[in-house]
Amino acid sequence: MKVQAAVSREKGKIAIETVELAEPKAGEVLVKMVASGICHTDSAVIEQYLPISFPIVAGHEGVGVVEKVGPGVTNLAPGDRVVLTFPSCGVCDHCQDAHPYSCDDNFTMLFGGKYRDGTTRMKTEDGKDVNTMFMQSSFATYAIANQDNAIKVDVDVDELKKLCSLGCGVQTGAGAVLNRMKPRPGSSIAVFGCGAVGLAGIMAAKIAGCSTIIAIHGSKGREEALEFGATHTINGRKEDIVAKVKEITNGKGVNYALESTGQPPMARTMLDCMAKEGLAVTVSVTAGAEVPIALEPQIMNPSVTFAGCVEGHSNPKVFIPELVRLYKEGKLPVDKMNKYYKFEEIEKAYHESHGGVLKPIIVF
């Protein structure tokens, strides 16, 4: 069928074109897209830091309504509202253990550009295969996803468009806290970075009952951090972060920390902020970055754990419906980060995602 898609044919460029979309194959679903968030990983693909070859349709925070199911699909039916998320193989040890974020094939599935059978689902009008991102390519009016990365949610279509970020950004930040850290009620946490991921971490820390939530922000993000649950803020560009964290925590440091800035030196600063037995988690993509860490006194004697975390340590089939429930209860007001754009405005939205709009949402 002919659909409209925002195709990237060269570095930094997106333009809406008519493309041919194939039928869903075994285990796949055709989704009529309602909306898509724009996340920094889309930039990484479009700007080619993560080189999926052109032409490509990016987008990996799609939401929509299932229109058609392929052979063998048992858990979804036409009319189901779905949040699209990261794919996983379903058969490796990590997937079998309900840890699909650690899937042995995750890099290939996210950034290999193809579906599981090694082919694509979109062709340009001049007959070129169009590579996919996250097996969804949500910057299009329709998408093919797998039944495992299309998560059924119980919301109406108008609410659905507010929830794009549950598929990636919010799942990453909230999951790092709720799934990876599982902080004790009454504990302290520092969140480095107040973009969509960091702010989701702050909302989650409040949900978990952290009593001291310190937001470390740049030129923007202070007001939002306070609105979403931060008890203290530090301007990371102007203030001494370590000294302030120690002051707020009576010299002890924080029990937990989340690093979402993408700036390697911040990982080192985070470790200097930890209390004894603290858990420091980074979700930053800083490929090839080296951060000098002293095992003593930053890690060994204070028994500090420094951990990585991808896709919020999430099993999306369980976690995304949980996030929807928290949203409905008013505890996870992710829609307050959103700014909505028409599909025709996708280039503008893409550029504004680099210029301080927390969560641009394309509405189809």
Q: Which residues bind Zn ion (CB under 5 A)?
A: 39, 41, 88-89, 92, 95, 103, 168
Tell me the CA distances in angstroms from 95 to 92, 170, 189, one per residue in order. 5, 21, 30
- Residue 254 or residue 323: which is nearer to Zn ion going by CB? 323
Q: How far is the CB of 78 from Zn ion (least distance, A)?
A: 27
Return the DSSP state at 304: -
- Residue 81 or residue 116: which is nearer to Zn ion going by CB? 116
Q: How far is the CB of 86 from Zn ion (least distance, A)?
A: 8
Terminal-residue alpha carbon distance, the chain:
17
The bridge status of strand 62-69 relative to strand 28-37 is antiparallel
Q: How far is the CB of 311 from Zn ion (least distance, A)?
A: 9
- Residue 37 or residue 253: which is nearer to Zn ion going by CB? 37
Check: CB of residue 205 under 8 Å from CB of residue 178. no
- Residue 7 or residue 103: which is nearer to Zn ion going by CB? 103
Q: How far is the CB of 53 from Zn ion (least distance, A)?
A: 20
CA atoms within 13 A on the CB side of 86: 30
- Alpha carbon dihedral 316, 318, 320, 325, in 10-degree steps, equals 180
Check: CB of residue 133 under 8 Å from CB of residue 58. yes
- Residue 88 or residue 188: which is nearer to Zn ion going by CB? 88
- Report how many helices (DSSP H) and strands (DSSP E) the chain contains, helices first: 11, 18
Residue with tokens 């194939």: 22
Check: CB of residue 68 under 8 Å from CB of residue 1. no
- Residue 271 or residue 358: which is nearer to Zn ion going by CB? 358
Q: How far is the CB of 88 from Zn ion (least distance, A)?
A: 5
Q: How far is the CB of 84 from Zn ion (least distance, A)?
A: 11
